[in-house]
Structure 1
């Protein structure tokens, strides 16, 4: 199948993982990373937090590109009532992974779509269960440097995936973008559509 669009689409993200996932749609798009401060004031649920940051990213780029559709996303990890975002350093990464060891956590991604009269957002949550980890395993993984740019201090698509016993929900959401749900949403908004020429 071929997907087409008549709109300029911008992904407001510097994440190579999100770029790769969005690229699966096969439509032209550009990347304009947003440099907004990834903090929001007040008390927020993990879903509210992720969606607020995603909207900040998308809105900042949409203001510079009024004729485009801008997509922003933000991913966080919830363990109980605690948010585990990107670790500040290796020590914090080790702490996060020790907390996640043997436990179930939720990976939550907020997605915001801004522009052309649309302002829409949603969140997707995936449940992830870790194996019991040894300090040796944690130290070896953190030493690779892979933890520092990832919520929860691990990447399921990299060596961090070796710690995952099972997941319930969308795998791509854990990577950083729930592309299936985003695809359906963009179809419903008529931002993308199937190429009817191929069906003739």
Structure 2
């Protein structure tokens, strides 16, 4: 679909982000940095997402003169409060109960770093959870799928039944607003249209 002009390093262990880039025919290496993902006292959600994007990039910036470095972070926000990833199976059901029958926001921030060029962007989508019976939440909470997901659900997986609808980018909710990212990669001449 695109001609790739610059090698890409995806600094993310997310299989979903890797699938998106691969789906569009992009070739990339994957590496990750071990960073502290805890929210700092008084830190706004947007500041947190931006800090995560920059901290994930930091160990690899020395290579950005010859590669396009892509980092991303996704969070779930309910009434201004960040709902993270569950640390254990025991945290899944309480998170799902918190989101059940309500609308929350999913914010994905990403960065593209290439030489002296840098793009930082945040994309927000709204997700409306159905008012699911407790038995459905309990059944889903026992599955391993929610464990590495912000908000304890996967909209593109089994967790799709929890959701009544979304406003904004579905891809953003999955973890990478590919529409915006492709625009930025085109603008930075990392990729170009095949013609």
Tell me the TM-score normalised to structure 2 length: 0.93
Task: Name the CA distance, whole Å, in 2 between partners of 1:168 and 1:19.
Answer: 24
SS in 1 for 2:145: coil
| 1:22-72 deviation digits (Å, cap 9, x = unpaired) | 112212211112222223534222222112112211222233565211100
Q: Matched residues in 2 for 1:189 and 1:66: separation? A: 13
8 A Cα contact 1:62 1:68, kept in partner? no
C-alpha contact (below 8 Å) 2:7/2:68 kept by paired residues: yes
Q: Deviation string for 1:102-161 (max 9, x for gaps)? A: 000001001011231122200001100001122211111111111110000000011111
The Cα offsets for residues 150-177 of structure 1, whole Å up to 9 and x where unpaired, read as 0000000111111000101100111100
What is the alpha-carbon distance in structure 2 between the residues aligned to residue 27 and residue 55 of structure 1?
A: 22
The equivalent residue for 1:4 is 3
Consecutive unaligned residues of structure 1, counting only runs of 5 or more, are none
Counterpart Cα distance in 2 of 1:105 and 1:41? 21
Answer yes or no: is the 8 Å Cα contact 1:50–1:75 preserved in 2.
yes
Tell me whether 3-12 or 100-109 shows the greater mean CA deviation. 3-12
CA root-mean-square deviation: 1.5
Q: Does 1:191 align with 2:190?
A: yes
| Structure 2 portions without partners, runs of 5+ | none
Partner of 1:80: 79
Matched with 1:140 is 139
1:1-200 to 2 correspondence within 5 Å? 2-63=1-62, 66-195=65-194, 199=195
CA contact (8 A) 2:86 2:149 kept: yes
| Count of aligned residue pairs for this structure pair | 195
In 1: Cα distance, 2:82 partner to 2:39 partner: 13
8 Å CA contact 1:71–1:113 kept in 2: the answer is yes
